[in-house]
Amino acid sequence: MVDLYGQYLSVKDEIDAAMGEVMRDCSFVRGPQTALLEEELAAWTGVGHCVTCGSGTDALLLAMTAIGVGSGDEVIVPAFTFGAVAETVAMRGATPVFADVDPLTFNIDSSSVERLISGRTRAVVAVHMFGQPCDMPPLFELARRHGFVVVEDNAQSLGARCRSESGAMARAGSVGLIGCTSFFPTKVLGCYGDGGAVMTDDGELAQRIRMIANHGQSPKYNYLTVGINSRLDTLQAAVLRVKLRHLHDWIEARRAAAERYDAALKGVAGVECPVRAGGVTHVYHQYTLRVDPSLRDGLRAFLADRGIESMVYYPSLLNDQEAYRDISRCDGDMRGARRLPASVLSLPICSHIGVAAQARVMAAVKEYFGVAEAL
Ligand X SMILES: *Cc1c(COP(=O)(O)O)cnc(C)c1O
The residues binding ligand X (CB under 6 A) are: 55-57, 81-82, 84-85, 127, 153, 155-156, 182, 184, 194, 196
**Helical pair 234-265 and 32-45, crossing angle rounded to 10 deg:** 30
Q: How far is the CB of 85 from ligand X (least distance, A)?
A: 6
Q: How far is the CB of 41 from ligand X (least distance, A)?
A: 15
| 200 versus 265: smaller Cβ distance to ligand X | 200
Q: How far is the CB of 257 from ligand X (least distance, A)?
A: 19
| 153 versus 233: smaller Cβ distance to ligand X | 153
Q: How far is the CB of 313 from ligand X (least distance, A)?
A: 8
- How many CB atoms neighbour CB 161 within 10 A? 20
Degrees (nearest 5) of the Cα angle 132, 134, 138?
160
| 31 versus 190: smaller Cβ distance to ligand X | 190
Q: Which residue is nearest to ligand X (CB)?
A: 56
Q: How far is the CB of 163 from ligand X (least distance, A)?
A: 20
Q: How far is the CB of 107 from ligand X (least distance, A)?
A: 11
* Amino acid, res. 205: L
| 45 versus 156: smaller Cβ distance to ligand X | 156
CB 136 within 8 A of CB 164: yes
Q: How far is the CB of 260 from ligand X (least distance, A)?
A: 24
Degrees (nearest 5) of the Cα angle 289, 307, 131?
30
H helix intervals, the chain: 4-10, 12-25, 32-45, 56-66, 84-91, 110-116, 136-146, 203-213, 234-265, 293-305, 340-343, 355-368
Degrees (nearest 5) of the Cα angle 59, 62, 66?
140
CB 336 within 8 A of CB 101: yes
| 176 versus 196: smaller Cβ distance to ligand X | 196
The torsion region of residue 111 among left (phi > 0), alpha (psi -120 to 50) and beta comes to alpha
> What are the angstrom distances between the C-alpha of 321 and each of 83, 130, 153, 331?
9, 21, 20, 15
| 181 versus 310: smaller Cβ distance to ligand X | 181
Nearest to 75 by CA among 83, 86, 66: 86
| 47 versus 155: smaller Cβ distance to ligand X | 155
CB 162 within 8 A of CB 152: no
Q: How far apart are CA 97 and CA 327, in angstroms?
A: 9
CB 238 within 8 A of CB 17: no
| 148 versus 184: smaller Cβ distance to ligand X | 184
Buried b / exposed e across 238-255, counting CB within 10 Å, b at 16+? Answer: bbbbbbbebbeebbebbb
| 103 versus 173: smaller Cβ distance to ligand X | 173
Q: How far is the CB of 346 from ligand X (least distance, A)?
A: 12
Q: How far is the CB of 59 from ligand X (least distance, A)?
A: 7
